[in-house]
Amino acid sequence: MKDLIQKLPKAELHLHIEGSLEPGLMFDLALKNSISIPYKSVEEVRNAYNFTSLQSFLDIYYAGANVLITESDFFDLTWAYLLTCKAQNVVHTEIFFDPQTHTNRGIAFKTVVEGITKALQKAEKELGISSFLIMCFLRHLSEAEAFETLKQSLPFKDKILGIGLDSSEVGHPPSQFERVFEEARKIGYKIVAHAGEEGDSSYIWEAINLLHVERIDHGIRCDEDEKLLDFIIKKQIPLTVCPLSNVKLRAVKSMDQHNILKLLHKGVLVTVNSDDPAYFGGYINENYEALEENLHVNKEELKTLAKNSFKASFLSEERKRHFIELIAQY
């Protein structure tokens, strides 16, 4: 099974590039940029990654991002992730970035986008990995700040495919951002949003009805509402599920209690993703392996999950079909 997980072509649809910052690179960049970080060693960093909730993670994740200063830092960060994609047979990736985490520290929007984009272009050419970029609004910040970020994105519209919504979920429902997402849709951006990670099913309803999302990020609490579950199945609204993340942040008690396969069997279009791999103990293959070890996912289920990753992507119908046919041959 490990062999099959490795070999299957896969798409990743829920990956925060800032969450792929490995402790080694964090140290290198801290030294280069003279940024102080509250750790003495890589081991000490790893020991600090003991989370009790989404917020306990976010505090450390935003602090880690402080070491990213120059365009080459964003390039190096993204390139390192793409090399792991190559090693794990991820052939297409749709990457989130959080512009406000950087612009609020005085880093130019352009620096962030150019650094990430140059690595994505190099990966397309040299590694054969295709990609899209999705920028997220931080939901703990205001609607006005989201509007300002949307405005800043306009000169780079050709490099950004869509808009998402992340950060602290509970207390910051999608309804607070209805108007800015309406504007984003008018501009032509694809829309996704984190919902139903820690927040209840009402957050998922709002993401669907008010933001008009094409995908839900996480969405694992959709099974608390029978009507919502039926709706998601009927409309085949994809969920980008992140198993290791959910257990690390205690959204789910333990991996053997994760509902991803239950949702799959009910007909939900679920996908497997790594979220913030440097912080949660694994990239995409480790997430699939966790399902094998704890939920005994079988070969056909694995293939369906890999096919779903392409079905749920923003690739053309032709590219989707290509990869789905490839997976069918395993």
Which residues are the active-site residues? 197
Q: Is 275 in the site for Zn ion (CB under 5 A)?
A: yes
The CA–CA distances, whole Å, from 120 to 157, 225, 328 equal: 15, 39, 28
- Which of 8, 9, 15, 19 touches ligand HPA (CB under 6 A)? 19
Q: How many residues bind ligand HPA (CB under 6 A)?
A: 11
- With contacts defined by CB under 5 A, name the span among 81-89, 263-271, 274-282, 292-300 that binds Zn ion: 274-282
- Distance of closest approach, residue 271 Cβ to ligand HPA, in angstroms: 15
| Per-residue tokens: 201 | 């099913």
Q: What is the 3 state secondary structure string of 104-153?
A: CCCCCHHHHHHHHHHHHHHHHHHCCCEEEEEEEEECCCCHHHHHHHHHHH
State residue 47 phi and psi, 5-degree precision: -65, -25
**Residues written for the chain:** 330
Q: Is 54 in the site for ligand HPA (CB under 6 A)?
A: yes
Q: Which is nearer to Zn ion, 193 or 302 (CB)?
A: 193
Residues 229-258 touching ligand HPA, rule: CB under 6 A, are: 245
Radius of gyration of the chain (CA): 19
Q: Which is nearer to Zn ion, 220 or 306 (CB)?
A: 220
Q: Is 12 in the site for Zn ion (CB under 5 A)?
A: no
- Distance of closest approach, residue 52 Cβ to Zn ion, in angstroms: 17
State residue 4 phi and psi, 5-degree precision: -65, -45
Helix (H/G/I), strand (E/B), else coil: 161: coil
The candidate with the shortest Cα–Cα distance to 68, out of 118, 103, 120, 119, is 103
Give the burial string for 122-144 (b: 16+ CB within 10 Å, else e). Answer: ebeeebebbbbbbbbbbbebeee
- Which of 8, 13, 15, 16 touches ligand HPA (CB under 6 A)? 16
Q: Which is nearer to ligand HPA, 39 or 280 (CB)?
A: 280
Q: Is 173 in the site for ligand HPA (CB under 6 A)?
A: no
Strand pairing report for 10-16 and 90-97:
parallel
Partner whose footprint covers residue 139, from ligand HPA, Zn ion, none (CB < 5 to 8 Å by kind): none
Q: Is 102 in the site for ligand HPA (CB under 6 A)?
A: no
Q: Is 275 in the site for ligand HPA (CB under 6 A)?
A: yes
Q: Which is nearer to Zn ion, 112 or 249 (CB)?
A: 249
> Residues in the site for ligand HPA, rule: CB under 6 A?
16, 19, 54, 61, 166-167, 194, 197, 245, 275-276
